[in-house]
Amino acid sequence: MSKLKRGRRKRLRQNGGKAAKRRKKRENHLLMKNHSAEDDHDTETAAKPSEGNGTVNILND
């Protein structure tokens, strides 16, 4: 059991390295900021691509 756990920990530690981890943290932070600060703006931008999506139009027909 401990061997399996150690392998999993190693894999989790080595996904991308420090730069990638920092980038991921920064992206998450920015996403959180956007949601809290300009919520109405986010909903508008998120709705436009889904409306213009081809699959949605096909389903509606």
pLDDT tens profile 13-39: 666 667 777 777 888 777 777 665 555
- The pTM of this model reads 0.25
Residues 6+ apart with CB under 8 A from 16: 24
For the chain, counts of helices (H) and of strands (E): 4, 0
Amino acid letter, residue 15: N
Give residue limits of the domains in the chain.
9-33
Structure token pair of residue 29: 């932070």
pLDDT tens profile 42-56: 555 555 555 555 555
